[in-house]
Amino acid sequence: MRSLLLAALLSATALASPPPTSRKIAALIVPMDKEAESHSLKVEGFADEMLKEYQGFNVRTSEDLFGVPEDDDAGASLKRAETGFAESKSAFDDRKYDDAERKLRATIKEYGKAVAAMQGCGHLCDAVAMYASVLQTRGDLEESKIAILDLLSLGPNVELDKKRYPQDFLALKSQVSTSRNAQLRGNVNVKSRPSGAKVYLNGEFQGFTPISLQTLPIGKAMVRVERPGFRKVGTIVEVTPEDQNVTQDLVATSAYKAYDGVLDKLAGEAVKEKGGSTMTSLAKSLSIDHALVGVLKQLEAGGQTELTLAYFDLKSGKRLAVKRATFQGDEFGQLKGEVGRMVNALINSGESGGERTAKSSDPLDNRAGTEEWNAEDKGGRTTSREKKKTGGDPLKDVNGTEDW
């Protein structure tokens, strides 16, 4: 009887206090010029990272909202390359070197077309290693050394199977790795249209376009460029002591084109106290109910970037909080911390009820001077807040440097 009563009480408690529903939220940054465009995806990413620190939020990143479609042609090339690799490996292991060389040439060529579909060097490095070994076997020593340099640049940490490769080839690889040519370096400048795309070198993330990949070992390198809402692209670059330039034109999906077509309207609604029809439409099409909507622009003086960021309940159209700040580049990686503090202030203000702007009369308030210098400051310290008058400009007399 007692167990039945306990079960009934637990059931009643569960019905009376349902678990909180997760709110779908996204950071939507609208760039107003070419310079801001190159920073928009980075700022969105920093905002997403901070939002994920909060319970009750289902953060929808740009990748979630718009996807990063595969390149079908690159995918087809990768399948052909993998088939060619299996055949090449079989011929190489059977010491049918003429057949292996022919197959390896075709296989490496297909891998070169498949970079957009590859996450790393993978079997390409194995194919290049076998090709270099075949070249040495037939006496083409200089060509073999060039292929080894390509292997070292594509996969510097690749370990070769000592049972598969002849000892004299392993010795040659060791010799080339310490040669003068292996010490040569070059730069690759990567741009994209639009800018602000992610850049991967041999499968490793490097930054956002435009970017200069510096002091790379000479030889071949895989460069892949990705931006949410655009098809992946990739290419093999020949790194030389002279700078190489890579410019990729990105192809947008129809869904992203539709989103891009309303960005100007979204920017206009972002600075108002209440959202409009554009936000309502995006809430439905993107399946989100809350958003951090930002307007990013380059200021004429001093090379500064200004971000106006507002927290909206898209269902009601109500703006919950707003903040403006200016950034002076990202030379020392400080942008992530500044965006994080900005998001923190908006969420804390918006969730406490009513639109507020965090202020502090003393920038060193609650600072004893003994805090760890390298500790990440995510904000959140208690500040005095001034409620804005209805219908007024919430950013009046606010220059973006308060409460940092």
Distance CA 179, CA 399 (A): 56
Give exposure, 338-361, as e/b (b: 16+ Cβ within 10 Å). bbbbbbbbbbbbbeeeebbbbebe
CB 349 within 8 A of CB 356: yes
CATH numeric code, 19-67+253-387: 3.40.50.10070
In the predicted model, is pLDDT for residue 327 greater than 90? Answer: no
In the predicted model, is pLDDT for residue 186 greater than 70? Answer: yes
Residue 190 pairs in a beta bridge with: 211, 246
Query: Where in the chain are all domains bearing CATH 1.25.40?
Result: 72-183
Report the Cα 387 to chain-centroid distance in Å. 37
In the predicted model, is pLDDT for residue 386 greater than 80? Answer: no
Closest to 338 measured CA to CA, from 57, 46, 53, 62 = 46
CB 274 within 8 A of CB 319: yes
CATH class belonging to 72-183: mainly alpha
Helix then strand count (H, E) for the chain reads 13, 14
Distance CA 149, CA 219 (A): 6
Query: Where in the chain are all domains bearing CATH 3.40.50.10070?
Result: 19-67+253-387
φ, ψ for residue 199 (rounded to 5)? Answer: -120, 130
Q: Which two tokens stand for residue 182?
A: 């292996």
The edge-to-edge listing of strands for the beta sheet with 244-249 is 211-217, 185-193, 244-249
In the predicted model, is pLDDT for residue 6 greater than 80? Answer: no
Range name among 25-34, 59-68, 219-228, 382-391 with the lowest pLDDT average: 382-391
Distance CA 166, CA 134 (A): 10
In the predicted model, is pLDDT for residue 236 greater than 60? Answer: yes
In the predicted model, is pLDDT for residue 378 greater than 70? Answer: no
Which pLDDT score is estimated for 355?
55
Which pLDDT score is estimated for 183?
96
For residue 274, the tally of other CB atoms under 10 A from its CB is 11
Distance CA 208, CA 374 (A): 25
Radius of gyration, CA atoms only, the chain: 28
CB 172 within 8 A of CB 140: no
Which CATH fold topology does 185-249 show?
Immunoglobulin-like (2.60.40)
Residue 213 pairs in a beta bridge with: 188
In the predicted model, is pLDDT for residue 204 greater than 60? Answer: yes
Q: How confident is the model at residue 363 (pLDDT cuts 50, 70, 90)?
A: very low
Q: Please state, in angstroms and as integers, the Cα–Cα distance from residue 306 to each residue in 21, 327, 349, following that order.
A: 34, 6, 21
Range name among 369-373, 388-392, 397-401 with the lowest pLDDT average: 369-373
DSSP 3-state percent helix, strand, coil across the chain (nearest 5)? 40, 25, 35
Query: Where in the chain are all domains bearing CATH 2.60.40.10?
Result: 185-249
Q: How confident is the model at residue 329 (pLDDT cuts 50, 70, 90)?
A: confident
φ, ψ for residue 336 (rounded to 5)? Answer: -60, -45
- Give the residue with greater pLDDT, 55 vs 332: 55
Q: How confident is the model at residue 393 (pLDDT cuts 50, 70, 90)?
A: low
Mean pLDDT score of the chain:
85
Distance CA 333, CA 52 (A): 20
Q: How confident is the model at residue 246 (pLDDT cuts 50, 70, 90)?
A: very high
- Which helix (DSSP H) or strand (DSSP E) does residue 169 occupy? helix 167-177
Residue 224 pairs in a beta bridge with: 200, 234
Please give the angle made by the CA atoms of 383, 389 and 395, to the nearest 5 degrees. 65
Give me the mean pLDDT over the 346-372 stretch: 55
Which pLDDT score is estimated for 354?
56
Report the Cα 296 to chain-centroid distance in Å. 18
397 secondary structure, DSSP code = T
Q: How confident is the model at residue 126 (pLDDT cuts 50, 70, 90)?
A: very high
313 secondary structure, DSSP code = E
CB 220 within 8 A of CB 59: no
Residue 134 identity (one-letter amino acid): V
Establish how many alpha carbons lie within 13 A of residue 311's alpha carbon, considering only the half-sphere containing its beta carbon.
24
Give me the mean pLDDT over the 174-188 stretch: 96
Q: How confident is the model at residue 168 (pLDDT cuts 50, 70, 90)?
A: very high
* Residue 377 burial (C-beta neighbours within 10 Å; 0-12, 13-18, 19+): middle
115 secondary structure, DSSP code = G
CB 311 within 8 A of CB 45: no
The two beta strands, 23-31 and 57-59, are: parallel
Distance CA 386, CA 404 (A): 16
Give me the mean pLDDT over the 324-333 stretch: 79
Which pLDDT score is estimated for 111?
98
In the predicted model, is pLDDT for residue 222 greater than 60? Answer: yes
Residue 358 identity (one-letter amino acid): A
In the predicted model, is pLDDT for residue 392 greater than 70? Answer: no
Residue 381 identity (one-letter amino acid): R
